Structure 1
Amino acid sequence: MKKFSLLSNRAGALFLAPGAILVALFVIIPFFWVIFVSFTNRTLLGRTAVNPDFVGLQNYLALFNPETFFTRGQFGFSLILTTQFVILSALVGQALLGLLLAWLMQAVPKPLKAFTETCVIAAWILPEVVIGFAWFAFLDYDNGTLNGILRSIGLPGADLLLQQPFWVIVFFNTWRGAAFSMMLFNSAFQSIPPSYFQAADVAGATSFQKFRDIALPLIRGHVVTDLILITMWTFNVFTPFILTHGGPSYRTELLSIYTYRVAFKDFEFGKGAAVGVIIMLINLAFALVYLRIARSRNKEAEQ
């Protein structure tokens, strides 16, 4: 009787089969189905719900129509708004705040460091829906905690969700996402040999000089990794929908929210699929950049 080795290719394929089937059903097949639908006029209601017509690049041309591209509520406006949101929230907000917190944590007493890390990580691990509704309850004009505090000290309340909705979602996403950057940079700083900083202390270097001349050059690979990852996550984030629903007047309608409105509110599945394909291509570009940087870092480590 032939023995069945656990290390054989057949055994490996057998163990991988359930996972491969799930990936095919929920990732690969939907991926190609979305691409196919983007070339049709499929909708939820009417004749095209059952028998959609092939329209070629019509959906893509409609998205990039120069006459409506910059109009509020259209694809171009959401794309530009999402770009601004990513730059302010991810690149400027999360990365810089996480880097600053991680550097400050290197010099504080351990009890304070543990308490701060616990508070920051709590913002990261709590479910997005819970965090979103908590912020909505905090900022609500009529019964929100913020306005309750302001009115109790004699100041007028502020309807930030109506007056400054874009800056609200930028601040909200920065507050939530800075935890990942802080944890990544904290690990990077701890990997630097303490003797480097001890020698700088002997030379009389200030904290800023140690950060600029020692820490930052040694963690530049971590900085690039952090920037790419948080850019991808922020580009696809949907949580601001809980706060503003994309409003008022489409002023906070990011690409993820725009896709949801077109596909599941306007029921234009073909157009929504076209937006999804464009988002996938943008994410693919980010992923390729990340993989290239990761490979270059591995080669440097091997050398």
Structure 2
Amino acid sequence: MAPAAALVGAFVIAPFFWIIFVSFTNRTLLGKTAVNPEFVGLDNYIALFDPSNFFTRGQFGFSLILTIQFVLFSAIIGQAVLGLLLAWLMQAVPKPVKSLTETAVIGAWILPEVVIGFAWFAFLDYDNGTMNEILTSLGLPRGDWLLDYPFWVIVFFNTWRGAAFSMMLFNSAFSSIPPSYFQAADVAGASSWQKFRDIALPLVRGHVVTDLILITMWTFNVFTPYLLTKGGPSYRTEVLSIYTYRIAFRDFEFGKGAAVGVVIMFINLAFALIYLRVARKKAAGEAQ
């Protein structure tokens, strides 16, 4: 256990407390505060939640609200619903089609995010993008998607990327349901919607909660939208992960960036505690 504990201590625990310490200072990369940072107490946190500019673009509050909207549309509504729908539809298709679809979905999931990000950028590029070439061939006007609809671009991108995990999770959950349940429903003349509503959904409710918590945590911290929009235009896609990067590693305000990181860590901690609580209840229910 000693080597593992040493690695965890060096790369997880020590940076955790170091970030908390830096968040109470005005440390920067350049100037006097780079060598001798001053203790500023809660000034960095007070600046983050300053009501006078909380909702201004480029500020912490705007990025926090934007991140909540991003999680709502791309994770909860997009990934979870789309993954659940695809997994349910896969139960009724022939086995070769199901295997082919699962292979394609897993491929989308395991590809590096950088590769997918640049592929989507090439697809949506105004001048030479595949999307606009298709529209032009159909006689439809071209669109500057990354400039006019940047938020919805990253929502669709993250939904396409993350729905694969939800689909695989729900597909496994549906496969664990005894076939006799659905056979009895078929004899009773139940429709596909009735079987989904009255049989499948109640039996996979625990998996739904697990999926929602996990994809919420992942989407809350995702940095890949930076590859498409770099947080722009005009901070319209600057979610918290990109905001933290800009403050800490572009503006070099390490103290303020550390304060943002601490806030994000506590939000993630809340999600993790909820997940652990749900997992314990699920394990207790299975044991009974």
**TM-score > 0.5 by shorter chain:** yes
Tell me, yes or no, if structure 1 residue 36 matches structure 2 residue 21.
Answer: yes
- Counterpart of 1:169? 154
Q: Distance in 1 between matches of 2:100 and 2:280?
A: 36
Tell me, yes or no, if structure 1 residue 26 matches structure 2 residue 26.
Answer: no
> Of residues 22, 35, 38 in structure 2, which corresponds to 1:50?
35
| Per-residue deviation, 1:143 | 1.2
> Of residues 269, 276, 279 in structure 1, which corresponds to 2:254?
269
- Counterpart of 2:51? 66
Code of the residue aligned with 1:276 in structure 2: it is: G
- Counterpart of 1:106? 91
Code of the residue aligned with 2:43 in structure 1: it is: Q
| Per-residue deviation, 1:96 | 0.2
Q: Distance in 1 between matches of 2:133 and 2:182?
A: 47
- Counterpart of 2:285? 300
Code of the residue aligned with 2:223 in structure 1: it is: F
Deviations 1:127-173 (A, max 9, x none): 00000000000000011111112122322210000000000000000
Q: Distance in 2 between matches of 1:301 and 1:122?
A: 32
| Per-residue deviation, 1:117 | 1.0
Question: The residue matched to 1:103 in structure 2 has which SS?
Answer: helix
> Of residues 124, 128, 149 in structure 2, which corresponds to 1:139?
124
Code of the residue aligned with 2:217 in structure 1: it is: M
> Of residues 55, 61, 67 in structure 2, which corresponds to 1:76?
61
- Counterpart of 1:11? none
Q: Distance in 1 between matches of 2:286 and 2:105?
A: 31
| Per-residue deviation, 1:236 | 0.2
> Of residues 163, 169, 173 in structure 2, which corresponds to 1:178?
163
> Of residues 267, 275, 280 in structure 2, which corresponds to 1:282?
267
Q: How does 1:253-264 map to 2 (within 5 A)?
A: 253-264=238-249
Tell me, yes or no, if structure 1 residue 89 matches structure 2 residue 61.
Answer: no
Tell me, yes or no, if structure 1 residue 197 matches structure 2 residue 187.
Answer: no
Q: How does 1:223-234 map to 2 (within 5 A)?
A: 223-234=208-219
Q: What is the count of residue pairs matched by the alignment?
A: 288
Q: Distance in 2 between matches of 1:237 and 1:50?
A: 32
Q: Distance in 1 between matches of 2:129 and 2:28?
A: 39
Question: The residue matched to 2:231 in structure 1 has which SS?
Answer: coil
Code of the residue aligned with 1:239 in structure 2: it is: T
| Per-residue deviation, 1:196 | 0.3
Question: The residue matched to 1:121 in structure 2 has which SS?
Answer: helix
Q: Distance in 2 between matches of 1:53 and 1:36?
A: 11
**Structure 1 stretch 16-25 or stretch 30-39: which is displaced more?**
16-25
Structure with max Cα Rg: 1
- Structure 1: which 5+ residue stretches go unaligned? 1-15
- Structure 2: which 5+ residue stretches go unaligned? none
Code of the residue aligned with 1:151 in structure 2: it is: T
| Per-residue deviation, 1:61 | 0.1
Question: The residue matched to 1:60 in structure 2 has which SS?
Answer: helix
TM-score of the pair, normalised by structure 2: 0.99
Q: Alpha carbon RMSD of aligned pairs, Å? A: 0.6
Deviations 1:220-241 (A, max 9, x none): 0000000000000000000000
Q: Distance in 2 between matches of 1:20 and 1:134?
A: 39
Question: The residue matched to 1:204 in structure 2 has which SS?
Answer: coil
TM-score of the pair, normalised by structure 1: 0.94
Q: Distance in 2 between matches of 1:187 and 1:172?
A: 24
Question: The residue matched to 1:87 in structure 2 has which SS?
Answer: helix
Q: Distance in 1 between matches of 2:160 and 2:172?
A: 20
